Amino acid sequence: MTSINAGGAFYRVQNSLNQNSEEVSKSMQRLASGRQNIAPGDRTASSAVAWGMKAEAASLKIGIQNGTEAMQAVEMLNNDIQAMNDIVVRLEELYALSTNGFNTTTDSAAIESEAGKLLTELERIASDATWKGNALSLQSGNGPKIGFGRNGGELEIKVNDIDLPVVKDNTSGNATTNALSAKDIAGTNTGNDVANVADGGRTVLIPAALASLKSNVDTMAIEAGALFNQVSNVMSHLGSLNAGYALDVASKMDVDFAGETTELAKGQILAQAGTAMLAQANAQGQGMLALIQS
């Protein structure tokens, strides 16, 4: 039996065309914007996770920038410590020179003068080891701390300051000065805890004093090197973590161009087919109209 309901095919085809047109429009918007989610209701949970990770990745990027600055500060500190090591080597030479029994008073004075200037320079280098006004070489207290982002933790940038040997009076045992003096290096001091009285009452500094000084500078170098390695290792970790976050965010937010292009082509084919079917459904209705007219 032929009934007016035969026109239902027209409406069903029209509905399919509308739905397909909407999907084609979404595919075109995704391809144009480069994003998977183009409407408030699209994959809301995935979007929330992606934005959370995106925020963390942004924090990590700043952490890497902070770490880069920390590495520059520690590298500067290493250069200063190298200069201090050079001074200690020269002090060793002056010590050996001071043990020459043929030295005149003028000779000893020259040795003492150079040693004094080197000791002053040694302390100056240690006290001037600063970055943006922040001391990196400290006997006590906290050094500047570097943060590496939300999950990167933080690291204190500090090494123990140089500690010059204390000079004591052999007779009283009391400290006469709080640091190694030029006379100690030159071998003319009359009493200290690292000196022996040689022939003729002349005091000659024993190598233990310079060994202690060298040990202090070496400790600073080891601490600075360890700091540099720590910062470098943290930055390497953050770089890998940031890359992983970026990939995960992309998988949840960026459009799959190959897949979406395929969907667009499919939608366009369906649109052409739907248009052809709509014409046939319309022709069906025309046939019923012709039947009525006859």
pLDDT for the residue 81: 92
The three-class DSSP label of residue 155 is strand
Rg (CA), the chain: 41
- Residue position matching structure tokens 């500094």: 205
pLDDT tens-digit series, residues 144-184: 888 888 777 888 888 888 766 543 333 334 434 445 556 55
Residues facing 203 on adjacent strands: 197
Question: Angle at Cα 55 formed by Cα 49 and Cα 60, nearest 5°?
Answer: 125
Per the model's pLDDT, the better-predicted residue between 11 and 115 turns out to be: 115
Is the CB of residue 193 less than 8 Å from the CB of residue 131? no
pLDDT tens-digit series, residues 70-86: 999 999 999 999 999 99
pLDDT for the residue 118: 85
Measured CA to CA, the distance from residue 266 to residue 32 in angstroms comes to: 17
CA separation (Å) from 268 to 15, 20, 24, 29, 146?
Answer: 16, 8, 7, 14, 55
Question: Which amino acid appears at position 101 of this protein?
Answer: G
pLDDT tens-digit series, residues 177-218: 445 556 555 555 544 434 443 434 333 445 667 887 888 889
CA separation (Å) from 11 to 16, 23, 203, 269, 284?
Answer: 9, 19, 115, 20, 12
Model confidence, pTM: 0.64
Number of residues that make up the chain: 294
Question: Which amino acid appears at position 126 of this protein?
Answer: A
pLDDT for the residue 278: 65
Per the model's pLDDT, the better-predicted residue between 87 and 213 turns out to be: 87
pLDDT tens-digit series, residues 270-294: 777 767 766 666 666 566 556 566 5
Alpha helices (H) along the chain:
8-33, 44-98, 105-127, 182-186, 207-253, 257-293
pLDDT for the residue 40: 66
Tokens read off for 1: 């039996």
Measured CA to CA, the distance from residue 248 to residue 54 in angstroms comes to: 9
Indicate left, alpha or beta for 42 from its phi (over 0: left) and psi (-120 to 50: alpha). Answer: beta
Buried b (16+ CB within 10 A) or exposed e, 235-272: beebeebbeebeeebeebbebeeeebeebbeebeebbe
Is the CB of residue 230 less than 8 Å from the CB of residue 73? no
Residues facing 135 on adjacent strands: 130
